[in-house]
Amino acid sequence: MTDPTLDAAQPYMGALAAELQKNGAVRSPQWAEAFARVPRHVFVPEWYEQETNERGITVWRRHHAATADDQLAKVYRDTTLVTTLDPETAEQVDDTAWTGIPTSSSTLPSLMAGMLEELTVQDGHRVLEVGTGTGYNAALLCARLGDRAVYSVDVDPALVQAAQQRLGEIGYAPQLAAADGQTGHPDGGPFDRIIATCSVPAIPPAWIEQTKPGSVIHTDIALGIEGGLVRLALDEDTRARGRFTNTTGRFMAARNEARVYPRRQSPTAAPEAGTRPTPVTGRDIQANYPFRLLLAFHLAETRFVYHLDDAGTTSFQLQHSDGSWARAPLAGDDIGLMTYGGNGDLWRQVEDAWQWWNDAGRPAQDQFGYVREPDGHASVWHIPDGRRWELTPAASAQHKPE
């Protein structure tokens, strides 16, 4: 190991591992040891921090630590560190700040730990990670399972090259590849475990082809307005079945090419059609993640945005691909009202789902199952009573990013 700050980092690494144990993300001695042994700072020499500049524009400012201790103190926090911005959208606004969409990051350590625990790896397992990014997660997998067991793929060749070098610096050599991980790993499977740190709208067929009965796939499924982490086990018929996990977190969407971030096409918005009272406020939707996930089961072809009106009121707004929209304020005098354009049914579905969710005792996300059938069709269900929602073919069968 050549990094001169490595000795100085040991107490920080130990403290991060202890924090992750204390907050329940790390539950086993094996993962506690891996977090205490793998230096995060090697993988994140610099990063971007979000700030709002004097013109009210949100920018990403490149962070340069004043001292080695300052860097270590910041890297070993339980926080996500954005490391790469999409060059297509990033515009430089001053010497060290850019606008733009993040395309890679070192994931929140407690989220990584929660997913790694839920992956339930055992000695001898072969694991594919989709989304190498900085290489930190791949290093943790190497520390736990050994280099030969770990395969990792990222769509961005520059990230793979940097990760390979950093992994090498601390003595790890997993099988890395620059490719679209939705097509699996170029070396093929079968893998005992697949863990994805980017989101997919549906389980890609290649992941089924590169696993085997008993294998586990752990990924973020993106379903329009919301999504979540699912842990699925493969059966003898190549059916992948499981549930949304207790660990919550969302990842950036998988993209097909390194330098092209998926853009959302906004339909022409229908003219405003009316305002009426509603029992569901924008705040209800914003504050209740499991309810947003449930709404995503109901609302295919729908996105959400925060809408700011001229009076400065922020609303939660749903936008359907046919141009219909509906919104409700997050706060203020009009909090009990919704306004819509186009098909008035959109918000009625929100109200019906809200009623069902409350009647069902406000189930958390881990009360919902997810299954991908051998033909690619996917559905979700409420585990206690079996109520089922079919996911649309667009959301369940495709494997291209939105």
Ligand X SMILES: C[S@@+](CC[C@H](N)C(=O)[O-])C[C@H]1O[C@@H](n2cnc3c(N)ncnc32)[C@H](O)[C@@H]1O
Residue type, position 224, single letter? G
Report the nearest approach of ligand X to the CB of residue 255 (Å).
5
**Where does this chain touch ligand X (CB under 6 A) — which range of 10-18, 141-149, 151-159, 169-177?**
151-159
Cβ count near 367 (within 10 Å):
18
Residue with structure tokens 């369940």?
A: 396
DSSP 234-259: E-TTS-EEEEE-SS----PBP-SBTT
153 binds ligand X (CB under 6 A): yes
86 binds ligand X (CB under 6 A): no
Q: Which candidate, 285, 262, 264, places its Cα nearest to that of 346?
A: 285
210 binds ligand X (CB under 6 A): no
Buried b / exposed e over 191-219, threshold 16 CB at 10 Å, is: bbbbbbbbbbbbbbbbbbebbeeebbbbb
182 binds ligand X (CB under 6 A): yes
Residue with structure tokens 């049914």?
A: 345
Q: What is the largest CA-CA distance in the chain?
A: 66
- Taking CB under 6 A as the criterion, the residue among 202, 254, 300, 330 binding ligand X is 254
- Taking CB under 6 A as the criterion, the residue among 144, 193, 255, 399 binding ligand X is 255
103 binds ligand X (CB under 6 A): yes
130 binds ligand X (CB under 6 A): yes
198 binds ligand X (CB under 6 A): yes
Task: Give 223's Cβ-side CA count (13 Å radius).
Answer: 29
Residue (119 or 330) nearer to ligand X, CB: 119
Q: Which residue has the closest beta carbon to ligand X?
A: 133
251 binds ligand X (CB under 6 A): yes
Residue (104 or 210) nearer to ligand X, CB: 104
How many Å apart are CA 273 and CA 206, to the nearest integer?
Answer: 45
104 binds ligand X (CB under 6 A): yes
Report the nearest approach of ligand X to the CB of residue 112 (Å).
7
Residue with structure tokens 């009623």?
A: 355
Report the nearest approach of ligand X to the CB of residue 147 (Å).
16
134 binds ligand X (CB under 6 A): yes
60 binds ligand X (CB under 6 A): no
**Where does this chain touch ligand X (CB under 6 A) — which range of 7-15, 97-105, 278-286, 364-372?**
97-105
- What sign does the CA torsion over 159, 161, 166, 167 have? positive
Give pairs for 157-161: CB < 8 Å, separation 24+.
157/258, 158/258, 159/84, 159/104, 159/132, 159/133, 159/134, 160/132
Residue (72 or 254) nearer to ligand X, CB: 254
193 binds ligand X (CB under 6 A): no
Chain residues in the site for ligand X (CB under 6 A): 103-107, 130-131, 133-134, 136-137, 153-156, 159, 180-182, 197-198, 251-252, 254-255
